[in-house]
Amino acid sequence: MNIPSNLKYTKDHEWVSMEGEIATIGITDFAQKELGDIVYVEVETVDQTLDKDEVFGTVEAVKTVSDLFLPLAGEIVEFNEGLETNPENVNTDPYGKGWMVKLKVSNLADVEELLDSEAYKALIGA
């Protein structure tokens, strides 16, 4: 299982990569394996400001639809439009081509509340 040490994680199985005040967000390798083959990613919250833990979109797999929860408060500034035609990138490259949104973070101090890779490994029993 791939759990990069340079990322932050949530208990809802999202990952966060920070670059200045912009967070890139996706779902973890563990989450994509649990969901199975992903066939559709829907995000209709671009240009909206949302609170932490609000639903920012959904991911549809062959057998289920799952809500995507925002790990940090802020404004969604970009959606990975490549997922519209290639949603399987979430399965094949969850930390690269499978990223979902970019978020302008409201409070950078909130990033410190996210899990590091060791805490996430403990959460999922890896």
Give ∠ CA 67-68-71 in degrees, rounded to 5: 140
What is the reported pTM? 0.95
Determine if residue 9 is left, alpha or beta; phi over 0 gives left, psi from -120 to 50 gives alpha, anything else beta: beta
Determine if residue 55 is left, alpha or beta; phi over 0 gives left, psi from -120 to 50 gives alpha, anything else beta: beta
Q: Which amino acid is located at 74 in the chain?
A: G
All residues at 6 or more sequence positions from 83 whose CB lies less than 8 Å from its CB, including other chains: 41, 89, 90, 98, 100
Say whether 104 sits in a helix, a strand or coil: strand
Element (H, E) at 122: helix 117-124
Question: Residue-wise pLDDT tens for the chain (126 aa)?
Answer: 899 999 999 999 999 999 999 999 999 999 999 999 999 999 999 999 999 999 999 999 998 999 999 999 999 999 999 999 999 999 999 999 999 999 999 999 999 999 999 999 999 998
Calculate the dihedral angle through the C-alpha atoms of 53, 31, 83, 76, rounding to the nearest 10 degrees.
20
Which alpha helices (DSSP H) does 48-116 contain, by range? 82-85, 89-92
